[in-house]
Amino acid sequence: MPSSPPRPAPQASGSTASGTQPDGEARSPGYRSLLRTPGAWAFVLPGLAARQPFAMLTISMVLLVRHATGSYGMAGAAAAITGAASALCAPQGGRLADRYGQRAVLLPGVVLHALSVTAVVVLAVSGAPAWALLSTAVPAGATVPQVGPMVRSRWAVALDDPLSPLMQTAAAFESVTDELTFVVGPVIATALCTAVHPAAGLVAEAALTLVGGMLFAAQRRSEPHTHQASASEGRAHTSALSLPGVRALAVAFLGVGAVFGGMQVSLAAFTQEVGRPGLNGVLYGTFAAGNMAAGAVYGAVSWRHAPRTRLLAAYVGLTVACAPLWAAHSLALLSVLPLIAGLFIAPTIVTGYSLVDALVPRTARTEAFTWLTGAVAFGQAIAVTVAGLLTDARGSSAGFVVPLVGTSLALVVLVGLRGRLVPAPSGVGVAGGIGHRPPVSVD
């Protein structure tokens, strides 16, 4: 982290030392140093393949159910149930992964997810009633594999140093990777649903989840050990959500989910209104591209301000960027405004995930990460439901109010809970960067 306790002065930036732990190269918070971590590529590439389907799930669900029922409200409800089920079950999966290992949770999970999504497709194309579609959306969401949190936990193991400045770089890299999937995923899903068949997006999502998840699970060497949880039974049964800082971060990530959900439904409705449905994936991809670009820059900078300050500043920027969306009525504006909003999401997510390393012990880190991803999914679930109802009643402009309301409410709560983002003096990680020790930037 940029504000970790001082270390010996790093060598020149052009150092060619191998690995990330010894001496100069490890202290540079650059992506090149990060990706030279021994064994990193072995889990990074399969992790990218395994998380790609998640970016396709919600938009594919919306497009298929809307085609089957003719209602954005019903499509939003199906996507909301999927997201809510994912949000409620993801932390339990993360907790099991911390205790029993990622492979033990992931392998049965991807099989069940593929079967559940297949059931949604079969019911939708066969003209099943709405209640049946909504019922099958529950297992489809509950079995979503939490690959992103698992990859983040593997970085903590690979770097083997909670004070390393590369921990923030790893968080930024994962944010960029996530957003790369959200640039590519919606475009692929929309193209499949509009050019091939409305169910093609979900079919591809199920197949990619199954194959990618198994490839990732096969990487055993980078999998976090589970003996920490079994060595302390009391801690193993304590939820990461019991930590005040995790609850505060979960509120912030709920607001981020409101942005994602509101954008997905409202952009889909807008492109339908202007007779250009094929541009939906492109516009949402522009929003995700802003997120990805900001994440890439954010992770390469050595920040001097404390993480809590950066989180609040990014959240204020996100709220302000969401304000004009409802008044935009042209393709030109809706190609630019979502891009600007995306620029503030990555700093929020990267800083939030980085704070987990300061606030949460390693034995509960995967669970903590899944609480945050679950909060995004739950916020997205609420947003797609509300945005779908508003869009059916008053058009896409009304749906764009949802991101603004969601971030505004979350910002108020986050400001009130900002004191929870300071770890105890004895905590591991980057406690020194949040006020218990003098902050020292790492160049």
pLDDT digits (tens, 9 = 90+) for 310-353: 999 999 999 999 999 888 778 888 888 888 998 999 889 888 88
Q: How confident is the model at residue 9 (pLDDT cuts 50, 70, 90)?
A: very low
What is the Cα gyration radius of the chain? 21
Grade residue 401 by pLDDT with cuts at 50, 70 and 90: very high
Helix ranges (H only) for 160-199 are: 166-191
- Predicted confidence at residue 233, as pLDDT, reads 45
Task: Report CA torsion sign: 284, 296, 349, 332.
Answer: negative
Identify the band that residue 163 occupies on the pLDDT scale cut at 50, 70 and 90: low
With cut-offs at 50, 70 and 90, classify the pLDDT of residue 256.
very high
The angle formed by the CA atoms of residues 151, 154 and 159, to the nearest 5 degrees, is 130
Q: Is the pLDDT of residue 68 over 80?
A: yes
Among candidate residues 90, 21, 22, 51, the one with its CA nearest the CA of residue 377: 90
Residue 415: CB atoms within 10 A of its CB come to: 11
Percent of the residues in the chain that have a pLDDT greater than 70, as a whole number: 85
What Cα–Cα distance (Å) separates residue 131 from each residue in 76, 78, 436? Answer: 14, 10, 53
Measure the CA–CA gap between 342 and 124, rounded to whole angstroms: 32
**Both tokens assigned to 45:** 């590439």
Cα dihedral 35, 222, 160, 97 sign: positive
How far is the C-alpha of 48 from the C-alpha of 64, rounded, in Å? 25
Q: Are 283 and 335 in contact (CB under 8 A)?
A: yes
How many other C-beta atoms lie within 10 A of the C-beta of residue 207?
A: 14
pLDDT digits (tens, 9 = 90+) for 212-250: 999 999 888 888 877 544 444 444 456 777 788 888 899
- Tell me how many helices (H) and strands (E) the chain has: 19, 0
Token representation of residue 118 = 């297949």
Cα 345 from Cα 290, distance rounded (Å): 9
Helix (H) or strand (E) holding 390: helix 365-394
Q: Are 299 and 168 in contact (CB under 8 A)?
A: yes
* Averaged pLDDT, 114-121: 95
- What's residue 433's pLDDT? 32
Q: Is the pLDDT of residue 11 over 50?
A: no
Question: What is the percent of the chain with per-residue pLDDT over 90, rounded to a whole number?
Answer: 22
The Cα–Cα gap between 431 and 27 comes to 18
Q: Find out whether 251 and 417 touch, Cβ atoms under 8 Å.
A: yes
Enclosing H/E stretch for 289: helix 280-300
Which residue is listed with tokens 């590369």? Answer: 166
In this predicted model, which residue has the larger pLDDT, 432 or 61? 61
Contact 96, 105 (CB under 8 A): yes
Cα–Cα dist 250/411, whole Å = 12
Superfamily of domain covering 41-219+234-434: MFS general substrate transporter like domains (1.20.1250.20)
* Lowest mean pLDDT, pick from 148-162, 218-232, 290-304: 218-232
- Give the model confidence (pLDDT) of 417-427 as tens digits: 888 887 655 44
